[in-house]
Amino acid sequence: MIFVRRSFQDQPVYKLVLRHYIAWLLAKRFPLSWAFEGTRSRLGKLMPPKYGLMKYVLDAAHATGTQGVHFVPFVTSFDLILDVEEYAAEQTGRVKKAESLGWFVGYMRNLKKPSGRIRLDIGKPIVIENAPGPEDKRALERIAFSVAVEANRVTPLTVSSVMCLILLGTAPRGVTAAELLATIGAVKEWAQARGVRLSKELESADDRALSATVDTLVESGLLTRYEAGSENVYSIDPAKHPMASYYRNIIVHHFLDRAMIEIALFQLRDADSGDATAAFWAQVDRLRDLFKFEFFYPPRDEHHAAIEAELERIDPTWAKRLASGDRGVAQLIRRCQPVVGHAVLLSFAEAYSVVADLLSRAAPGEAVDDKAIEAAALAEGKQAYLLRRISSEAAIGKLLFANGLSLMRHMGLAEPATPDILAARRALLMELRGLANVMETMRLSTLALADRLPPPGEGHA
């Protein structure tokens, strides 16, 4: 174990010693392990990589002529994580608790609580036969991207993550035990058809193991189970939505292509788009651009091919249906039910809308202060939730707001306010709110489908 300072940009001697030490470890073929995000993700999903130690390894390999360096992505998955409540609280602006002796004692006591299972998944190694030179930044970025994509690929669906995805997607409505089992089964079949990894409890269809995990989630307070009626009903307390979103975010990348398809179809349903096929791909590309700071995308041509493959699984005649216009779009939407797009992307759109709203109200000539915007967004986000302009506190978070600001900066909307920039900010705000409204329609369509299903014993779903 090597203790490395969090920051040493202005300490050339420290950097030199560390680089030589890593070169020595590499030459001796010692394995190194580190979180290449640089820290634990506060959102649940994989964050953009920190290049520091990866660059040091590659620089050392280049300097010493070491060949065949293997970067092996591995993912550790937990049914429950003790720190998630603290992560969620920090994202909403609460100051992190000091790590005192009392804190340590409390932490150790909490370890006695049941936390379910731990799973380790190992991806295919990214092999670097000849390390790039220190000045080749593009090569470093490509390697880091490859590691991130492989880490995402081997991230499994777990009971915790799937249940949070389902229940956040139906909230504030709960889900009966029968509905939950049916939806979990549908997600399982969907994942198996696409080669997505599943936890043992999901893969084996072991009802006893599944029930034990659900009991653990209920006992932890993450899920609520109502047992007084004729059917058990599961839900997530609105106050726990930020915590639940952490577990959901671990797996949302697996559903991203599906979510983009669904949202693009719902946008076409209520629009006079003319060429529906061209409009569909324009909507997909726009969603890709809007959420470029949240996910790792392949090149655009590869991404379109992946979208087409998903459409083929939904309906082999998708191209003809899409080209036929409104009727074909409606048929494709029916084949997508139950939809998941709102459960995947709504919190991001709502968080971005809070930032866009703040910046659209700036005075002419006013500059953007990142810290001030973050603080104001936390307050405005809470107000927006109370007024139900956003649907869940899962959309209130410092990292979400930071990525929303990054998007606006990328679009050239974070410069000092001018009439044109203010108009463009308002246009983006209207677009994000419209997108959120589309996703609310998607949620209601899924709930309407659930309400049409016969209760247990009166028919077959």
Number of neighbours of residue 100 by Cβ within 10 angstroms: 9
Question: For the residues 146-172, what does the mean pLDDT come to?
Answer: 92
Q: What is the pLDDT of residues 85-120, one digit of tens each?
A: 777 777 877 666 667 788 778 778 877 777 788 899
Residue 461 has pLDDT above 60, yes or no: no
Residue 220 has pLDDT above 90, yes or no: no
Q: What is the pLDDT of residues 264-280, one digit of tens each?
A: 999 998 766 678 899 99
pLDDT at 97: 67
Confidence bin at 455 (pLDDT 50/70/90): low
SS3 24: helix
Residue 454 has pLDDT above 60, yes or no: no
Cβ(434)–Cβ(346) below 8 Å: no
Q: Cis link prior to 242 (omega < 30° from 0)? A: no
Which of residues 11 and 408 earns the better pLDDT score?
408
Number of neighbours of residue 347 by Cβ within 10 angstroms: 29
Q: What is the pLDDT of residues 404-420, one digit of tens each?
A: 999 999 999 999 999 99
Residue 291 has pLDDT above 90, yes or no: yes
User: Which token pair is 18?
Assistant: 């560390």
pLDDT at 52: 83
Cα separation of 456 and 461, whole Å?
9
Burial of 458 (0-12, 13-18, 19+ CB in 10 A): exposed
Residue 195 has pLDDT above 70, yes or no: yes
Q: What is the pLDDT of residues 330-340, one digit of tens each?
A: 999 999 888 89
Q: pTM of whole model > 0.75?
A: yes
Cβ(178)–Cβ(231) below 8 Å: yes
User: Which token pair is 154?
Assistant: 């081997």
Query: H helices of 270-340, where?
Result: 276-290, 300-314, 318-323, 326-336
Which of 91-100, 221-230, 265-274, 450-459 is predicted most confidently?
221-230
Cα separation of 224 and 327, whole Å?
40
Residue 40 has pLDDT above 60, yes or no: no
Residue 203 has pLDDT above 50, yes or no: yes
Confidence bin at 290 (pLDDT 50/70/90): very high
Average pLDDT, the chain: 88
Q: Which range, of 81-90, 169-178, 383-392, 448-457, averages the lowest pLDDT?
A: 448-457
Query: H helices of 154-275, where?
Result: 159-170, 177-193, 200-204, 207-220, 241-249, 256-269
The conformation of residue 368, written as its DSSP 8-state character, comes to P
Which of residues 337 and 75 earns the better pLDDT score?
75
Q: Which amino acid is at 7?
A: S
19-37 CB burial, b ≥16 within 10 A, e <16: beebbeebeeeeeeeeebe
Q: Which range, of 65-69, 93-97, 239-243, averages the lowest pLDDT?
A: 93-97
Q: What is the pLDDT of residues 12-28, one digit of tens each?
A: 898 888 888 888 888 88
Confidence bin at 456 (pLDDT 50/70/90): very low
DSSP character string of 235-255: E--GGGHHHHHHHHHTTGGGG
Cα separation of 76 and 79, whole Å?
10
